[in-house]
């Protein structure tokens, strides 16, 4: 056996020894994540007494009516439609603004481009509470207070810093040879963006879409303050607390929570593989 082969064999032996420990820790982590979900789902089918006396047992009587009660009492159908519409429009506006901005920043290395990138980075330094009062005043002056339309415009503004910075990093991975070949063929900027940069940066677009969907869907503070609590405009995060009262039925509340989480969980399940591939590819390139 050569001297170069011995360290390689020792590393391989250590890897085999660590594999069972890593597997056990992975299963433990999965269990920690799954336990609250199991508690939420079984609680949605129980009475208050069972929730507090037998929290992790299966229901003795499966109360499927809790779901219909939560759906009716909180008007979750309308709230889900409002939230889906706001998220769809806000994500579309975010991508329409972020993709060209990222393309421009990825292709430029001037002082102005670096200053603009720094300005987007500074957006992370502004806490949401600091923007609440100016946002309310702006909504009132625009005549859009207590409307879904202002929420559709506000959410993309809050999402642009992260979206632009992420997409810029993905677009910087486009090989310069492709860009030079397109320029020699006389391809314009718009076609270069659509046919070269956008397909290569598509994993980044998927990543931004998932991250912003989770953020927009769970947004509560601005939805409560700007959109309001009227049943025809409120979102699911504002509608759900209406199930809380002095005599809260926690089974109904848990059922309502499951109904509000389920749509975004299904979307995440469908798109998560593309997001994991994008993050893994980014780690390898880094």
Task: Give me the pLDDT at residue 207, please.
Answer: 87
Q: Is 10 exposed, middle or buried (0-12, 13-18, 19+ CB in 10 A)?
A: exposed
Task: Give me the pLDDT at residue 154, please.
Answer: 92
pTM of the model: 0.83
Instruction: Return the domain boundaries, the chain.
Output: 65-284
CATH 3.30.565.40 fits 65-284, yes or no: no
Q: Which residues of 230-245 are buried (b: 16+ CB within 10 A; e: fewer)?
A: eeebbbbbbbbebbee
How far is CA 140 from its chain centroid?
28
3-state SS string for 50-111? HHHHCCCCCCCCCCCHHHHHHHHHCCHHHHHHHHHHHHHHHHHHHHHHHHHHHHHHHCCCCH
Tens place of pLDDT for every residue, the chain, 286 residues?
566 666 666 666 666 666 778 888 888 988 998 999 999 999 999 999 999 999 999 999 999 999 999 999 999 999 999 999 999 999 999 999 999 999 999 988 888 888 888 888 887 777 777 888 889 999 999 999 999 999 999 999 989 999 999 999 888 888 888 888 888 888 888 898 988 898 888 888 988 998 999 999 999 999 999 888 898 999 999 999 999 888 889 999 999 999 999 988 888 888 777 666 666 655 445 4
C-alpha to C-alpha distance for 236 and 77, rounded to whole angstroms: 9
Task: Give me the pLDDT at residue 33, please.
Answer: 85
Structure tokens at 60: 């003795």
Q: Is 186 exposed, middle or buried (0-12, 13-18, 19+ CB in 10 A)?
A: exposed
């Amino acid at each position: 056996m050569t001297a170069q082969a011995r360290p390689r064999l020792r590393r391989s032996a250590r890897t085999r020894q660590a594999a069972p420990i890593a597997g056990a820790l992975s299963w433990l982590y999965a269990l920690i994540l799954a336990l609250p979900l199991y508690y939420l789902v079984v609680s949605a089918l129980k009475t208050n007494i069972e929730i507090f006396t037998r929290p992790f047992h299966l229901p003795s009587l499966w109360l499927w009516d809790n779901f219909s009660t939560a759906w009716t009492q909180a008007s979750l159908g309308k709230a889900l439609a409002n939230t889906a519409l706001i998220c769809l429009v806000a994500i579309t506006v975010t991508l329409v603004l972020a993709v060209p901005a990222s393309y421009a920043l990825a292709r430029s290395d001037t002082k102005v481009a670096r200053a603009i990138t720094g300005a987007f980075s500074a957006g992370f330094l502004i806490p949401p509470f600091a923007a609440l009062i100016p946002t309310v005043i702006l909504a009132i002056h625009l005549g859009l207070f207590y409307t879904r339309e202002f929420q559709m415009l506000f959410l993309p503004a809050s999402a642009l810093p992260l979206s632009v910075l992420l997409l810029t990093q993905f677009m910087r991975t486009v090989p310069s040879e492709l860009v030079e070949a397109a320029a020699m063929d006389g391809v314009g900027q718009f076609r270069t963006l659509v046919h070269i940069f956008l397909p290569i940066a598509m994993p980044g677009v998927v990543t931004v879409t998932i991250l912003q969907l989770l953020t927009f869907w769970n947004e509560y503070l601005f939805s409560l303050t700007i959109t309001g609590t009227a049943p025809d405009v409120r979102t699911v995060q504002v509608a759900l607390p209406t199930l809380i009262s002095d005599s809260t039925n926690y089974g109904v509340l848990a059922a309502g929570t499951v109904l509000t989480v389920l749509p975004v969980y299904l979307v995440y399940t469908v798109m998560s593989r593309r997001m994991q591939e994008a993050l893994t590819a980014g780690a390898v390139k880094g």
